Chains A and B, each alone.
Chain A
Amino acid sequence: MTSNLSVPPTTELERFAYDNKIVQQFAYATAFWGLIAMSVGLLAALQMVFPVLNFTAETTFGRIRPLHTNAAIFAFVGNGIFMGVYYSLQRLLKTRMYSDVLSKIHFYGWQAIILAAAITLPLGLTTSKEYAELEWPIDIGIALIWIVFGINMFGTIMKRRERHLYVAIWFYIATWVTVTVLHLGNSMEIPVGMWKSYPVFAGVQDALIQWWYGHNAVAFFLTTPYLGLMYYFLPKAANRPVFSYRLSIIHFWALIFIYIWAGPHHLLYTSLPNWAQSLGVVFSIMLIAPSWGGMLNGLLTLRGAWDKVREDPVLKMMVVAVTAYGMATLEGPLLAIKSVNAITHYTDWTVAHVHVGTLGWNGMLTFGVLYFIIPRIFGTTLYSRRLANIHFWIATLGVVFYTVPLYWAGWTQSAMWKQFLPEGILQYGNFLETVDAILPMYALRAFGGAIYLSGVILMVYNLIRTTRQGTLIADEAAAAPPLAASPAGHKGEYWHRWIERRPVQLLIGSTIVVLIGGLLEIFPMVLVESNVPKIAAVTPYTPLELEGRDLYIREGCNNCHSQMIRPFRSETARYGQYSMSGEFIYDRPHLWGSKRTGPDLHRVGAKYLHSWHYRHMQDPRSTSPGSIMPPYAWLLEDKLDVSQLSTKISMLRLLGTPYPAGYEEYAIEDLRDQARDIADNLREAGVEDDALEEKEIVAIIAYLQRLGTDIKPKPQVQLKK
């Protein structure tokens, strides 16, 4: 057709076929894992209203929540990315994927990783780092499969029959490159067993690298690949070119250069040095420009085509998706302003914000792409446009019912946390009052999630019926002229020649670049040496506390409890002295958390009796009426596994924790002594259990009683008798 007009008549068309089989596989996986991810999310949402739904150890909120986020991000959106990339890349480049074998390895490998996540996370095998919870063997698997995807994608780009790389492909490339670096950077960990590792960096450093990763996971896994999909599928569905191709190019380059630096906005008012926080704030604000450029470019593509939007469910989904992208990317920079962040951080506002992104932007765009692709690769039309339209309205209402109550809850809770009486004491000194107030909002949120999920069920039915009325065109025939010699051949060598002819300038230029790197290296080190005070009183965890800390990680306590008291009067009045970076130097990983469903725990040490913690873990509502925390009865029953203790001690010493040489040999004795003291104390308080000193509960009590006490005035309660 028209694309052949520029081809000289002598050029022979090459015949080939697009691989639709792989697109179909990823599409099915997207829909399937979408159902799973959202069902698990619904369970988590309901658990917050009905704690009785924490059935077993494997299904407690602390383990279910990371399962939900990982499934939503890497299983649902991940497969969605691959579905869209494998469909559009072949067509944009007029070639089949580089290798069918690599495509298959990619597909089955990725599903195996998801399966491994679905098994290990409920078992409590987790690193505790948000969106990077998977333990080191799975991390290696992710790296390998991601490289397979990269080879397949770049191989396809190399053998393309279209010289111009359409803007969507640039977004795919940026995704691949950056996710590779992020994953490798944040997964630097030393194994101490098959399913346990410690990160190389500790405390504030671990926190910074985690949120550098965490933010960019949102940027380069949930955003850039989906922008690529938007730039392909939105114009295709509307059958008109993108509003401004030039704007799309500017959108791309501006976005990727700015995004990388915004991570520290997740750590505002924490122990991170102030200048690093400000850096994150500035880049976050700058992000509004490219993000909104992209949103407007998407919406304006539909100018003059809004009549199609009224008819076509694919376009409707995409319009809401792009609008949600615009809302989330305006809200994000606003939340990154320190004074706004002081109000919203640790509340449900953040949860609402990410769900505008995932349910609105990722979810709706995925649905649109599924409704677009499935009929086409099955050579048919959508089974029911009416059902798809119903899905559209259900999904849109679902997003509203999900987010609005959480915005309300977040604001309410924050206001209650900060409210003082005229006498100068906290009006809601009992944290539970601030939880009780927002439970109706949690119930409404679960309702919103439920109707969003019901829309997906409707979609799956519609798509299955669509596939039944057609047959898969596994190899879709196509033809295109081979890639001619570059029409701009001399330009291809421009930079190369320019540099080649100027060796002196090259030398100077490269020296300057290296110097900039060097200056950036020296500057923060000099500056920061004084910023991280070494606190003499801060000592490494005892063996029992260390094991207790690893139980805290296993149970996912950090999903609901922060360990970071910000320097506000309302927080120091509630929790005590604000947290300082020097207190975290032995924390591998950091456990600062990002959400306070329960109170902050950084200074919980020596605040309650051992027996209080024992009863609280057994039944949280016995000590804290109205609490929505799950009971942790198995901690009282299960024996503490100390088989990895000596390896843990050795590895931590290797990383710099100053345990004495050879301590791994007799650490177990210290552990037993400390456990006996705590067990004796518990028995005096009336706990009856003959093997108490061997139970997990003793370790977790030891850890909780240690928290934040290094710089605390000596406790009033004598811990050891």
Chain B
Amino acid sequence: MTLHLLIHYTLLIIVFLVLLSLLIAGGFLVAFFWAVGTGQYDDEVTPSIRILFDDPPIPSDDVEP
């Protein structure tokens, strides 16, 4: 009952949302450290160029899907 009252009469929701948002932001922070740490951003030039090159078509009978 006390928990219900608390949920009712305070803006517990803001706490909940702040924590949830911090959790998301924290998750992204870890992802950011991972990205920097594993060298994802060591090269800031060629990735944007490499996506433009698609592989040459290969005769489809050589391929296992």
Contact = CB atoms under 8 A, between A and B. Distances in A.
B25 A260 contact: yes
A276 interface: yes
A96 B65 CA distance: 8
Size bin of chain A's contact surface:
35 or more
Interface-centre pick from B27, B47, B64 (highest chain A CB count, 10 A): B47
Contacts, number: 172
Contacts of A480: 55
Contacts of B31: 173
B42 to A, nearest CB: 6
Interface string B35-65: 1011111111101111111111111101111
Interface in B10-44: 10-28, 31-35, 37-44
A241 interface: yes
Contacts of A491: 37-39, 42
A524 B11 contact: yes
A174 B28 contact: yes
A642 to B, nearest CB: 25
Contact of A3 (B41, B44, B53): B53
Contacts of B48: 235, 241-242, 245, 248
Given A201-B7, A205-B11, A521 B19 contact: yes
A173 B31 CA distance: 10
A656 B7 contact: yes
Contact of B24 (A2, A260, A276, A534): A260
Interface string A320-354: 00000000000000000000000000000000000
A384 interface: no
A132 interface: no
- The A interface, classified by DSSP as helix, strand, loop or mixed, is helix
B20 to A, nearest CB: 6
A181 B11 contact: no
Nearest to A520: B18
Interface in A517-534: 517, 520-521, 524-525, 528-529, 531-532, 534
Given A208-B17, A656-B4, A656-B5, A531 B37 contact: no
Contacts of B34: 495
Interface stretch (A67-75, A108-116, A309-317, A471-479): A471-479
Interface string A256-277: 1100110100000000010010
Contact of A17 (B35, B40, B65): B65
A222 interface: no
A3 B8 contact: no
A9 interface: no
Given A241-B52, A524-B11, A531-B11, A164 B47 contact: yes
Nearest to A245: B48
A181 B44 contact: no
B63 A17 contact: yes
A15 B58 contact: yes
B37 to A, nearest CB: 5
Contacts of B39: 486-488, 491-492
Contacts of A17: 60, 63-65
A91 B54 CA distance: 8
Nearest to A495: B37
Nearest to A247: B44
Given A3-B55, A202-B8, A205-B12, A488 B42 contact: yes
A477 B52 CA distance: 17
A196 to B, nearest CB: 21
Contact of B32 (A245, A253, A493): A253
Contacts of A2: 50, 53
A248 B47 CA distance: 12
Contact of A495 (B5, B13, B33, B57): B33
Contacts of B22: 517, 520
Nearest to B19: A517
A226 to B, nearest CB: 17
B49 A532 contact: no
A260 B20 CA distance: 10
A89 to B, nearest CB: 12
Nearest to B49: A241
Nearest to A100: B65
Contacts of B62: 15, 477
A488 B65 contact: no
A585 interface: yes
A528 B6 CA distance: 12
Given A206-B13, A655-B7, 4 more contacts: A209-B13, A492-B38, A517-B19, A656-B4
Interface of B: 4-5, 7-28, 31-35, 37-45, 47-60, 62-65
6 contacts: A15-B63, A92-B51, A166-B47, A242-B48, A520-B19, A532-B9
Q: Which 4 residue pairs across A and B have the least CB separation, nearest first?
A: A488-B39, A656-B4, A205-B13, A241-B48
